[in-house]
Structure 1
Amino acid sequence: MPAPRIKICGVTQAATLHACIAARADYVGFNFCPPSPRFLSLPAARDLGAQANGRITRVGLFVDADPATIAEAVEAAGLDAIQLHGSEAPQTVAALKARHGLPVWKVISVSGAADLAPAARYAQAADLVLLDAKTPKGALAGGLGLKFDWTLLAAWRPSGPWGLAGGLNPANVAEAVRVTGAPLVDTASGVETAPGVKDMDLIAAFCQAARS
Structure 2
Amino acid sequence: MQAAANLDNRLTQDTLRLKVCGMRQAENIEAILALKPDYLGFIFYPKSSRFVGEELPAEILNQIPTSTQKVGVFVNEPVANILEKVRKYKLDAVQLHGEESPAMCQELKAASLIVLKAFSVDDAFDFNTLKPYEGTCHYYLFDTKGKEYGGNGVRFNWEILKNYSGETPFFMSGGIDLEHAAQIKALELPLLKGIDINSRFELSPALKDSNKVASFFRQIREPETTT
- Normalising by structure 1, we get a TM-score of 0.89
- In structure 1, the residue matched to 2:83 is 71
CA distances 1:20-58 after superposition (whole Å, capped 9, x unpaired): 221121110011000111111353254422321424110
The unaligned stretches of length 5 or more in structure 1 are none
- Normalising by structure 2, we get a TM-score of 0.84
- Alignment match of 2:106 (pick from 72, 94, 116): 94
**Runs of 4+ in structure 1 over 6 Å off:** none
Within 1, Cα distance between the matches of 2:47 and 2:94?
A: 19
1:109 aligns with 2:120: yes
Q: How far off its partner does 1:176 sit?
A: 2.5
- In structure 1, the residue matched to 2:171 is 163
SS at 1:52 equivalent: coil
Contact conserved, 1:19 with 1:203, CA < 8 A, in 2?
Answer: no
Within 2, Cα distance between the matches of 1:60 and 1:72?
A: 11
Cα RMSD for the two superposed structures: 1.9
Read off the aligned partner of 2:128 and give its amino acid letter.
Answer: A
Read off the aligned partner of 1:83 and give its amino acid letter.
Answer: Q
Read off the aligned partner of 1:165 and give its amino acid letter.
Answer: S
Contact conserved, 2:79 with 2:104, CA < 8 A, in 1?
Answer: no
1:129 aligns with 2:157: no
SS at 2:120 equivalent: strand
SS at 1:114 equivalent: coil
- In structure 1, the residue matched to 2:20 is 8
The unaligned stretches of length 5 or more in structure 2 are 1-12, 223-227
Matched length: 208
- Alignment match of 2:33 (pick from 17, 21, 44): 21
Q: How far off its partner does 1:146 sit?
A: 1.1
- Alignment match of 1:186 (pick from 180, 196, 199): 196
Contact conserved, 1:120 with 1:159, CA < 8 A, in 2?
Answer: no
Within 1, Cα distance between the matches of 2:129 and 2:31?
A: 35
- In structure 2, the residue matched to 1:142 is 150
